[in-house]
Amino acid sequence: MAHGVLVFAEQRNGSFKKATYETLSEGHRLAEKLGQPLSAVIIGAGIGHLATEAAHYGASTVYVADVAPLAKYSTDGYAKVLTDAIQAAQPTVVLAPATAMGKDLMPRVTARLDVSLASDVTETHVNDGVFSVVRPVYAGKAYATVAFRRTPAAATLRPNVFPIATPDTSRTAEVKSIVATIVDAFQAKVTDILAAAKGKVELTEANIVVSGGRGIKGPENYYLIQELADALGGAAGASRAIVDAGWVDHSHQVGQPARLLAQPCISHVVSPGLSNTWRGCLPRSLLWRLTKTQKRRFSRLLTTVSSAICLRLYLGSLSRSKPSRLSIKAKVTGEVRAHRRKAAKS
């Protein structure tokens, strides 16, 4: 009989991703509501020490596949190990982070198990012992509540949505090694990973994203977006328009079909077409939308005013719980006039 909640604990280079802590935390909260234990699966090479860390976030049993062939992520190898672990644990619910790895891995695992998968989940619920989730549909225009007819119920959780619990270092877990014959599972072998240079804060894990679009006028002005992001301790993003134009690398693109974000605030200096960006953000996100006339004015502002002014505009907008577009426009207009007066005196 199915019993328990199992979490795929994604790791990269011997450490958990931020999304993994979020998934473990939500898995523990869900297990307590169901009155069932939490278990975790860790796959890789040289990752045995992570079992203790998973225990601190509530896992009572940790399945570890620590073998050299799994040092680099392999869809076939990881899918076989995770499927075997699920079949051995027989959980009621399986959770994984909705990262690039999770989105690639979980559909293959659920297909092997012949169960359904709810992807990019933003809420989990337990009503009368029945597990259900809420996920966006129609490119984020609506939200659907999804229940499951078969077990295990599988879901991937959107990063930056679920809070991370405080770890309890007194917790311990039973560690079970997964002895998997995975040599025949590899249809393709990963020999090397060529990763692009990353910024100080990864885009999908940043609490604040400052994203620029055609309103910055040209690629030579993108440094203003980067400076503002650095000042706020966030990450720099970009609209699809300027990515397609070659102004910045694709890794900075925000929204569909690029990176879905759930950050509490996003400042975006763009032209009127915002559908792709809106689809990649939660409704609570803050978006600065400029008309064509405002875009031209703000473009001139960006090329002449320092990033400190942009920072003041941004922080000023955050002082209100629900900042209006009119208040933001008034602040921009006031700063432009002040800059013009200063320029006229000099």
Structure confidence at residue 109 (pLDDT): 95
Q: Please tell me if the domain spanning 5-185 has the same topology as the one spanning 203-345.
A: yes
Query: In whole angstroms, what is the distance from residue 240 CA to residue 232 CA?
Result: 23
Structure confidence at residue 338 (pLDDT): 67
Pair 207, 213: CB distance under 8 Å: no
Domain ranges of the chain: 5-185, 203-345
Q: The domain 203-345 is classified under which CATH number: 2.130.10.30, 3.40.50.1100, 3.20.80.10, 3.40.50.1220?
A: 3.40.50.1220
Structure confidence at residue 311 (pLDDT): 46
- Give me the count of residues in the chain: 346
What does the pLDDT look like over 80-129, one tens digit per residue? 899 999 998 999 999 999 998 999 999 999 999 999 999 999 999 999 88
Structure confidence at residue 335 (pLDDT): 57
Q: List the structure tokens of 170.
A: 């007194």
Query: Is CATH 2.40.50.140 what the domain over 5-185 is classified as, yes or no?
Result: no
Structure confidence at residue 37 (pLDDT): 93
Q: Which pTM value belongs to this model?
A: 0.71
The ranges of the chain with pLDDT < 50 are 258, 263-267, 269-275, 277-280, 282-292, 295, 298-326, 328-329
Structure confidence at residue 239 (pLDDT): 82
Structure confidence at residue 260 (pLDDT): 54
Structure confidence at residue 183 (pLDDT): 53
Apex CA 72: angle with CA 193 and CA 43, to 5°?
150
Q: List the structure tokens of 152.
A: 């295990």
Structure confidence at residue 86 (pLDDT): 93
What are the Cα distances from residue 55, in Å, to 9, 111, 128, 154, 252? Answer: 11, 29, 28, 21, 34
